[in-house]
Amino acid sequence: MRFFQKLLTKLLVLFSSFVIHSQEVDFHTPLNAPFNLSGTFGEFRSRFHTGIDFKGGEGIEVFSIEDGYISRIEVSPIGYGKVVYITHPNGYSSVYAHLSRFNPEIEKYIKTEQYKSRSFIVKKFPKKDQIQIRKGELVGYSGNTGRSFGAHLHFEIRDTNSQDALNPLMFNYTYEDLERPIIKGLYTIDENNTLVRDLPNKIKISKVNDSTYVADNILFSGDIGFGLDIYDIQYKNLFNKNGVYKIELLIDSIQKFSYSMDRIKFSENHYKKLLYDYLSLVKNNKRVLKVYSPPNSNLSFIRTNDFNGIIKSHEISNSRVNIKVTDWNNNSSYLKFKIISTDSIKLNKPLNGIEILTNQKYVINKGNSVVEINKNTFYEDVLLNITSRDDTIDLGEEITPFRSSIKLKLPIDKNLDSLRLSQTFIGKIVNDKINYMSSKINDSYITTNTSSFGKYIISIDSILPEIRPINFRNKSNIKFNKTLSLRIKDDMSGINKYEAYINGKWALFEYEPKQNLIFHDLSDSVIEDGENDLLIEFEDGVGNKQIFNTKIYY
């Protein structure tokens, strides 16, 4: 017991010293614009949001927050798009993502690497003394590259040694926020029988004043957890619904459970699927945040609680509950209600399907199809109802998140000729549309990996991808253009790759999949005076190929 007390004391001292140190660091602002946030640290995304997002549109100057060296640069049509990582001598690193372009020095360096590798997609790790940068120096400009759905700057601060993401607001950045978090809904989540999950039970709440919400008494038996539908706004004319910073659960006026978004380990990102109620998300598109530590999770920012937040009727029978929700600027809202345990017996649903235990591997044969499930594919034991018919397999409704993927093997038609065979893939049926899945043909099966339930079918993509010029025509003069832009798309299996050549020389064409756009910067000096031959070779996900060839004058 003394060992654990000493360990906890050391951890508290380390955290306290980190907080004090972060408050002493005098970082430069990443942009000279108001801190209008369209995303806060730790909020719901495809993973925990490991930074903050600044609104403001495209082309806003982005600055290094401290002296350092550029340790990583990436360019990609997905993920962070155009992104710069800077390592600083004080133990921190900073990240600037979704940029529209880099500063001239970085731009020159990365284009040289792109032409050297003949690829738009690059990931480079410059040496420590290769690209130095000063505090307040221009890094690049805000943009909408990668997996971004509006022009902004995604900004991170990390602990260089651990690479843990830190809440950037801990570093003395201030911004306007006078509004309390909004509590839209209260839910109880049944933690008695995890093998058969139901949607959470919504509890009616009402707002009694600017800061306080109340709910009627909650009768319960067995084990329940509370869930909240909440968001924060910065000020009334800024309509972004952001995540909150801190949640506290008080029972009979004593704080029993809490967590705050200060530090996130990247290895914990997949647990986001457990911290938000999965069924509410997939069935109702509603984000219900759990006010307890989800079973089978390992989240460091809530690991230190002695009480995991799950209410057990044999331990708590008649108590007053107060849930406090707080944003970074210490604006708080409160939700108050009473819980009363009962002896009511809950009727269990019948267990229909194949029981999948997390610690076992399964090979399930359904008709002529096969489903291969490895150990620890799911976070908890589940019941699967799988059906198969001809070229279709149905894994059933979305019931629980995947921790890793499973393999589907569907029987292939042996009578297909080689062309049709190469065009064949497994697709997922979503809203009556077939979504392409990367597939392989092996022996008598076509296989794919998936991390979601639903219906899958064998399909064929025989339609060639398309391309058309936007700002030029065949034999047109492009002397006054800044770019060569073309629309490139494939409605079935998507664009897989492309190569562009001007007068036989490889030319860099950037790819923006959100707009089905490729474009070449004429300042790259690949184009020559007079007549030029432009050749673009491209293909879709199943290998259907096309060639675009035209003459242009400069």
Number of domains, the chain: 4
Least confident of 192-201, 289-298, 400-409: 192-201
Examine residue 362 and state whether it is found in any structural domain, yes or no: yes
For residue 15, pLDDT over 60 is answered with no
**Cα end-to-end distance, the chain, whole Å:** 79
pLDDT band at 205 (very low <50, low <70, confident <90, very high): very high
Residues 13 and 150 in one domain: yes
Assess if residue 542 is contained within a domain. yes
Considering the domain architecture, whether residues 153 and 205 belong to the same structural domain is answered as: no
Least confident of 42-51, 348-357, 448-457: 348-357
Tokens coding 174: 């201030």
pLDDT tens-place string over residues 132-146: 999 999 999 999 999
Residue 287 token pair: 């984000």
Domain containing 24 — which CATH number? 2.70.70.10
Q: What's 361's domain CATH number? A: 2.60.220.30
**Same domain for 43 and 162?**
yes
Q: pLDDT per residue over 92-116, tens digit each?
A: 999 999 999 999 999 999 999 999 9
Tell me which amino acid residue 383 is: L
* CA dihedral (116, 122, 127, 131) positive or negative: positive
**Tell me, what's the pLDDT at 20?**
44
Q: What is the pTM of this model?
A: 0.91
Residue 223 lies in a domain: yes
Read off φ and ψ for residue 505, nearest 5 degrees.
-95, 140
pLDDT digits (tens, 9 = 90+) for 324-371: 999 999 999 999 999 999 987 666 667 788 999 999 999 999 989 999
Domain check: are 23 and 129 in the same one?
A: yes
Residue 139 lies in a domain: yes
Strands (E), 268-389: 289-290, 311-312, 318-326, 332-341, 354-356, 362-366, 369-373, 382-384, 387-389
Q: Given pLDDT bands bounded at 50, 70 and 90, which one contains residue 413?
A: confident
Closest by CA to 426, choosing from 462, 391, 386, is 391
pLDDT tens digit sequence for 247-270: 999 999 999 999 999 999 999 999
The answer to whether residues 472 and 454 belong to one domain is no
Which pLDDT belongs to residue 346? Answer: 63
115 in the same domain as 236: no
Query: Do 298 and 247 fall within a single domain?
Result: yes
Residue 177 lies in a domain: no
Quote the domain boundaries for residue 106: 2-170
pLDDT of residue 113: 97
Burial of 140 (0-12, 13-18, 19+ CB in 10 A): buried
Both 452 and 371 in one domain: the answer is yes
Handedness of CA 249, 254, 260, 265 (dihedral sign): negative
CATH number of residue 494's parent domain = 2.60.40.1220
Q: Which of 406, 525, 510, 412 is nearest to 454 (CA)?
A: 406
Is 375 within a domain? yes
- Please state the rounded mean pLDDT for residues 10-35: 67
Q: Is residue 22 domain-shared with residue 155, that is, in the same domain?
A: yes
* Same domain (yes/no): 243, 300: yes
**446 and 379 within one domain:** yes
471 and 453 both lie in a single domain: no
**How much is the pLDDT for 14?**
44
Q: 490-534, pLDDT tens digit by residue? A: 999 999 999 999 999 999 999 999 999 999 999 999 999 999 999
pLDDT at 194 over 90: no
